[in-house]
Structure 1
Amino acid sequence: MSLPALVEPGPELTPEQVTRYARHLLLPTVGREGQRRLLGARVAVVGAGGLGSPALMYLAAAGVGRLTIIDDDAVDATNLQRQVIHDAMSVGLSKVESAVDRVGGLNADCDVRGREVHLDPDNAVDVLRDHDIVLDGSDNFETRYAVDAACHELGVPLVWAAVYRTAAHLTTFWTAAPGGQGVGLRDLFPRPPAPGSVPACGDSGVMGALVGQVGSMMAGEAIKLITGAGCPLLGRVLYIDSLTTTQREIPLAASDRYLGAQPPASADLPTCATVSADQLAADLQGGSPPFVLDVREAAERDFGVIPGSVHLPLAVLTDGDPDELRIPRDRPTVLVCKTGPRAYLAAGALQAQGYQRLSVLDGGMTAWAEQIDPSLPRY
C-alpha cells in the first residue's frame, strides 16, 4: 500500500547538495523534491547497536536533516562483532557518545543529537515527541512496548525489527496511518513474553552481517515513508532467513487492542530463593554439595562452567518430564544461567513438578566469573 509523503519539502538544494545527493536526484521515486523532504525530516533511532548502527549511518548519508540517537548503554568489546558504528577505541564510552561522533562526521547537513536515557512508559512520549518517524532497534520487550505506545499516542510511524540468531522480522507499525489500516506492535504480539523466555543475542548469538542487512532495510523503510516512494511494510511482516537466503511476508491486520487499552504487562518470573556465587562456591566444598543444574545453551558452556554442574538446556527442561531427566529431589538444586532469568523459568517448571529444594544462582555465570573465577571470558 502506497502512502503520501510523510514530510514536507525543505528549502531548495544548494549546488553542493545537488552534487552530494546526485544519485538520489536521479531516482524518479526520490528526485529533488524527495531529497528536500529528507533534509527536512526529523528521525529518532532507538538503540545505537546492531540494528541502529547501519540505520543511523545510511540515514545520515541519505541527508536526513535531524537524527536523534537514543541509548543508555556503553560500548562493550562483544558489541564490535556487529555494531559497526563503534570501533575498538570506543569500548567503555557511551554508545550515544560514540555514535554521535561517528554520524556527525558523515554528513554536515545532518543535525545529530544524543539522548542517554532508558526509554520507559513514563518518558517515551516526551523523548520521542517532535519527530516525524521512529526506528526501534532496541533488544528488549520492555523498551519495544514503551516505544510502540508512545508512537501510538503521538500518531507517528514506527519502523521495527527484531533479530534472533540467523533470522529476523521487519515491519512498519503506524496505528494512525491514512485510510484506517494502521497496525501496531500489539497486533503482532498482544502481550510481552516472560522475561528470559526469549533469549537475547548475548545468550543465543547473532549473525553480524544479518543485523547489518536488516538495519539497512530499516533505513530504506524510513526513506520510503519520508519521501512517499514505493510501498512500506505497513500491514506486512517480512521474515528473513539468512541461512537459506529466503524472505517471505506475513500479513498483519489491525485489531481493537489500541482502543482505550492499557499497555500490556508481561508475565512475571517465578519466585525462587537465591544463592550468591560466594555461598555456592563454599557449599560445593562442603560435605553435602548441592546439585548444580546449568540451563544455558550448549555453546555457552564453552565460555566456562561451574565444576561438577550438569547441563540441561531450558528448552529441554520445560518440554520434558523432569523425573525422566534424573534431577534429584533429595538434594538442594541450584539453577544456573548467564544472568538469572532463564534459571527462574527453569525453577518455575520444576516447581510445577513438585520440586521444592530449589535456588537460583544470583547473577548467574556472570557473577561466578566476576567473584569466583575471573579467568572465565565474558560473553
Structure 2
Amino acid sequence: MAFPPLVEPVGALGDAEQTRTARHRVLAGFGDIAQRRLAAAHVAVVGAGGLGSPAVLALAAAGVGTLTVIDDDEVEASNLQRQVMHRVIDVGAPKVDSAVRIGAELSPTTVVRPVRALLTPANARELLAGADVVIDGTDTFPTREAVAAACEELGVPLVWGVVQEFHAQATVFWSAPPAGTAPLRLADLYPPDAAADAPTCAQVGVLGALCLQVGSLLATEAIKLVTGVGEPLFGRVLVIDALRGRTVEVPLRPAAAAEAVAQAQPAAPPTAPVPQLTPEQTLAAQRDGALLLDVREPAETARGVIPGSVLVPLGDLLADPARVGAPRVVVVCQVGMRAQRAARALREAGVEASVLAGGLDAWTRATVPA
C-alpha cells in the first residue's frame, strides 16, 4: 500500500544540486517535488557496517538532507569485504568518520551527523529523536530490540533488514502508521528472545555482495517513505536466498490480530509434545527408515554431521516445511532448540517429527569414548 510522504519539501534546490540529481527528477511519479522532500528529510542509520555502509552511500547520493549515523566501533580489516563505506586507510579509525567523508564526497548539501556511541535501551530514544525514518543496520538482536522499542515510542517508521551467510530479510515496521492501517512491530516478526540462539556473522560468515544488495534495498525503502512514492515493504517481509537467486515475499500481520483470530476459533485440542529421542533411539529410528534432518547452518555442518543426515538450514525449512518430503523425521541441531522449532513446523505440516534431545552435542558425548 502507498503512504503519504513523511516530510514537506524544501522550497527549491540549488543549481548544482539540480544538476547532480537530474536523473531522479525526470523519474515518472518522482520529479522535482520528491527530490525536494529528500532534501528536507532526516534519516538515522544505526550501524555503519555491512548494511549501514551501502545505505549511507545510497542516501547521501540520493540527496537526503540530514543523515545521523550511529556507531561506536572502529574499522577492522575483516570489515572491508562487505562494509563498502570504509577503505584500507580507515582501519583503526571510527566508522562514523567514514560516513562524514563519504557524505561530503557524494553530496555537498547532505549534512552527516556522526554519533560515536553504542545505542542502548537507555539512550536509544534520545539518539533517534528528530529522525523522519530510522534504518537498522545493526548485527545483534539486543541492539535491534532497543532500536525497535525507541522507534515504537517515537512513532517513527523503522526500515529493518538482516543478512547472514547467503540469506537476508527486509521489511518496514511502524507503530504509528497512517490512519486505517494496523501497526506492525519487530515483535510481530520475532517474538522476544526468538533469535537468542542464532549464530553470529563472525561465526558463520556473510556474503559481502548480499550486504550491498540489502543495504541499498533499505535505502530505497527509506526514500519511498520520505517521498510517498511507491509501496513500502510494510506488511510484507522480503526473503532473499542469494545462493539460489530467489526472492520471495511473506505477508506480515500484527501478532495481536493473529491471536484474536485464534481466540475466535473453536479451541484446538492440546498440542502433543514433540518426542525427544536419545542418541540410541535416533540411530534405531534411522535404521528403521526415518530421515535424519540437520537444520544447522552450512558453516556448522561443515564441522561434522551424523552420517546419512540431510542438511536443510532452519530458515529454509520454516519457509517450506513440505520440502522435506519424508513421512518420518528426526530433527537435529547443535543443542536441540532449533530442532524443536523445526519439528513443530513439520508436525503442523503432517510429518511425524521427533527431535534428537541435546542435539549433536549429546550425540558426540554418546559416541565418542571418554
The TM-score, its normalising length taken from structure 1, stands at 0.70
More helix by share: 2
Partner in structure 2 of residue 140 of structure 1: 140
CA distance in structure 2 between the aligned counterparts of 1:328 and 1:242, rounded to whole angstroms: 36
Partner in structure 2 of residue 184 of structure 1: 185
Are the counterparts in 2 of residues 158 and 174 from structure 1 also a CA contact under 8 Å? yes
Q: Tell me the alpha carbon deviations over residues 187-213 of structure 1, each in whole angstroms, 9 at most, x when there is no partner.
A: 111212464x11111100111000100
Are the counterparts in 2 of residues 50 and 84 from structure 1 also a CA contact under 8 Å? yes
Partner in structure 1 of residue 364 of structure 2: 325
Change in Cα spacing, 1:323 to 1:209, as seen in structure 2 (3 Å) is closer
Percentage of matched positions with identical amino acids: 49
Partner in structure 1 of residue 285 of structure 2: none
Partner in structure 2 of residue 37 of structure 1: 37
CA distance in structure 1 between the aligned counterparts of 2:171 and 2:223, rounded to whole angstroms: 14
CA distance in structure 1 between the aligned counterparts of 2:7 and 2:302, rounded to whole angstroms: 47
Question: How many residue pairs end up in the alignment?
Answer: 280
CA distance in structure 2 between the aligned counterparts of 1:247 and 1:231, rounded to whole angstroms: 17
1:101 is the counterpart of 2:62:
no
Alignment partner of 2:80: what SS?
Answer: helix
What letter corresponds to residue 249 of structure 1 in structure 2?
A: E
Mapping for residues 1-379 of structure 1, pairs under 5 Å:
1-178=1-178, 179-193=180-194, 195=196, 197-256=197-256, 297=300, 315-318=333-336, 320=356, 324-326=363-365
Query: How far off its partner does 1:103 sit?
Result: 2.2
Alignment partner of 2:222: what SS?
Answer: helix
What letter corresponds to residue 6 of structure 1 in structure 2?
A: L
Q: Tell me the alpha carbon deviations over residues 128-158 of structure 1, each in whole angstroms, 9 at most, x when there is no partner.
A: 0011000000000011111111111111100
Query: How far off its partner does 1:29 sit?
Result: 2.1
Change in Cα spacing, 1:234 to 1:89, as seen in structure 2 (3 Å) is same
Unaligned runs of 5+ in 1: 258-295, 302-313, 332-379
CA distance in structure 1 between the aligned counterparts of 2:56 and 2:71, rounded to whole angstroms: 13
Change in Cα spacing, 1:317 to 1:122, as seen in structure 2 (3 Å) is closer
CA distance in structure 2 between the aligned counterparts of 1:75 and 1:50, rounded to whole angstroms: 11
Q: Tell me the alpha carbon deviations over residues 50-78 of structure 1, each in whole angstroms, 9 at most, x when there is no partner.
A: 10111100100000000000011111111
What letter corresponds to residue 333 of structure 2 in structure 1?
A: A
CA distance in structure 1 between the aligned counterparts of 2:362 and 2:121, rounded to whole angstroms: 42
Query: How far off its partner does 1:43 sit?
Result: 0.5
Alignment partner of 1:56: what SS?
Answer: helix
Root mean square deviation of aligned Cα:
2.2
Alignment partner of 1:297: what SS?
Answer: helix
Partner in structure 2 of residue 370 of structure 1: none
Change in Cα spacing, 1:226 to 1:194, as seen in structure 2 (3 Å) is closer
CA distance in structure 1 between the aligned counterparts of 2:203 and 2:106, rounded to whole angstroms: 33
Query: How far off its partner does 1:175 sit?
Result: 1.3
Alignment partner of 1:325: what SS?
Answer: helix
CA distance in structure 2 between the aligned counterparts of 1:329 and 1:106, rounded to whole angstroms: 58
Alignment partner of 1:113: what SS?
Answer: strand
Alignment partner of 1:57: what SS?
Answer: helix
Q: Tell me the alpha carbon deviations over residues 204-257 of structure 1, each in whole angstroms, 9 at most, x when there is no partner.
A: 011100010000010100111111000000000000111111111111112449
What letter corresponds to residue 92 of structure 1 in structure 2?
A: G
CA distance in structure 1 between the aligned counterparts of 2:87 and 2:216, rounded to whole angstroms: 19
Are the counterparts in 1 of residues 103 and 111 from structure 2 also a CA contact under 8 Å? no
Query: How far off its partner does 1:299 sit?
Result: 5.7
CA distance in structure 2 between the aligned counterparts of 1:60 and 1:91, rounded to whole angstroms: 22
CA distance in structure 2 between the aligned counterparts of 1:235 and 1:17, rounded to whole angstroms: 34
CA distance in structure 1 between the aligned counterparts of 2:244 and 2:195, rounded to whole angstroms: 30
CA distance in structure 2 between the aligned counterparts of 1:251 and 1:79, rounded to whole angstroms: 33
CA distance in structure 2 between the aligned counterparts of 1:251 and 1:62, rounded to whole angstroms: 29
Q: Tell me the alpha carbon deviations over residues 1-51 of structure 1, each in whole angstroms, 9 at most, x when there is no partner.
A: 000001110121222222111101101221110010000000000000010
Are the counterparts in 1 of residues 239 and 247 from structure 2 also a CA contact under 8 Å? yes
What letter corresponds to residue 55 of structure 2 in structure 1?
A: A
The TM-score, its normalising length taken from structure 2, stands at 0.72
